[in-house]
Amino acid sequence: MDIKLPAILIRIPSKSKLFSNIWLFTTLLFLGTCYQAISQNVHSITASNATKGTSDCNIVDFNEDFGQGVGRVCIDPATATTTYTCNTIDMVDDGEYVITNNSNGLNSGWHANMTDHTGNTDGRAFFVNADFSTGEFYRRTISLDPETAYSFGAWITTVYDTDTGICGGTGIPSNVTFRIEDPSGSMIAETNTGDIPNGPEPNWQQFFISFDTGSNSDIQLVLINNGAGGCGNDLAIDDITLGIVTTEPVIATPPNLTACDTDGNGTELFDLTVQTAIV
């Protein structure tokens, strides 16, 4: 027996006050007429509609990728300070640093042709040969929103190439503390990399801190060397970011919708409205 199925019209609004919203109905059920068995006329309909836009739960508020360009440059004293000496000419020795796009010529024991982490054309990284003494080697003041949750992230790798055999064994590992301080120098949060071993290839790793700015509109980012100087404890840092941590909206799953063709006109109308985001 042939059964003519009634039509179903789904109306979805095209505008929404939400930044990003999705309607997803995977089990819309039509039950046919009231006089037919449910098993004869149960139909599944999938309908979805999403407005343009994306939801990002970590909005980057600060990004230091050390720029782009060929050759060696030093830290701009207007943006940051360091206790190390910038070396733009010779091999980078203990207690020295340079910002550059390629490791060639920096040190005979370092990885050759090493580039930055970002991966952009002629992107630079912060190359450091740690001092014999432990202590701070980089400080930068950054303006952020007060009373806001942030996530700090930075990429780091050792640069001593164990295949050169210059140090004998694997050399001294790198060990760095990333610290967030308030303007007076009081610690807000910190994380420690632990010992990062040297190897035959660069091995970029990312480290994080989560913190709240409290009443502070400025924070200080401080990098501290915890390892001994000597053969090894050479490193590169790139892509330092500070991002606002936001809460991802929860989109509730709507219940199943059913309809019964009581008037026998063969059409049922579902009028779908936008959900309110729960944050």
Question: Are residues 132 and 86 both part of a single domain?
Answer: yes
Q: Which residue has the higher pLDDT, 60 or 254?
A: 60
- Print the domain residue range for 67: 58-245
Residue 103 lies in a domain: yes
> 125 and 191 share a domain?
yes
Tell me the pLDDT band of 246, cut-offs 50, 70 and 90.
Answer: confident
Decide if 176 is inside a domain.
yes
Classify 226 as helix, strand or coil.
Answer: coil
Could you tell me which residue, 114 or 24, shows the higher pLDDT?
114
Do 37 and 159 belong to one domain? no
Q: Are residues 26 and 109 in the same domain?
A: no
Residue 145 and residue 61 in contact, taking contact as beta carbons nearer than 8 Å: yes
Residue pLDDT, tens place only, 14-35: 443 333 333 343 333 433 333 3
Rounded to the nearest integer, the mean pLDDT of the chain is 81
Closest C-alpha among 247, 208, 277 to residue 51: 277
Residue 276 resides in a domain: no
Task: Report if residue 213 sits inside a domain.
Answer: yes
Residue 218 belongs to some domain of the structure: yes
Tell me: pLDDT of 37 over 90: no
Residue 228's pLDDT is: 85
How many beta carbons lie within 10 A of that of residue 187, not counting itself?
A: 12
Instruction: Write down the pLDDT at residue 245.
Output: 87
Identify the band that residue 279 occupies on the pLDDT scale cut at 50, 70 and 90: very low
CATH number of the domain that 94 lies in? 2.60.120.260
Q: Residue 272: pLDDT band by 50, 70, 90 thresholds?
A: low
Q: Which two tokens stand for residue 246?
A: 């936001």
Q: How far apart are CA 234 and CA 270, in angstroms?
A: 65
In a shared domain, residues 140 and 219: yes
Same domain, 212 and 107: yes
Pair (34, 50) in one structural domain: yes
What is the per-residue pLDDT across 53-93, written as a single tens digit (0 to 9) for each? 343 456 888 999 999 999 999 999 999 999 999 999 999 99
Residue 21 lies in a domain: yes
Q: Are residues 66 and 49 in the same domain?
A: no
Q: Are residues 204 and 99 part of one domain?
A: yes
CA angle 106, 228, 100 (to 5 degrees): 20
pLDDT at 141: 98
Asked whether the predicted pLDDT for residue 220 surpasses 50, the reply is yes
Q: Which of the residue ranges 1-15, 222-236, 250-264 would you say has the lowest mean pLDDT?
A: 1-15
In a domain, 277, yes or no: no
Same domain as 149, residue 74: yes
Indicate whether 80 and 204 sit together in one domain. yes
Q: So what's the pLDDT on residue 19?
A: 35
Tell which wins on pLDDT, 204 or 245. 204
Q: Does residue 177 register a pLDDT over 60? A: yes
The answer to the question of residue 2 being in a domain is: no
| The token pair that represents 130 in the structure block | 């740690």
Structural domain tally of the chain? 2
Q: Which residue has the tokens 């967030």?
A: 180
262 with 220, same domain: the answer is no
User: The whole model's pTM is what?
Assistant: 0.70
Distance CA 144, CA 62 (A): 8
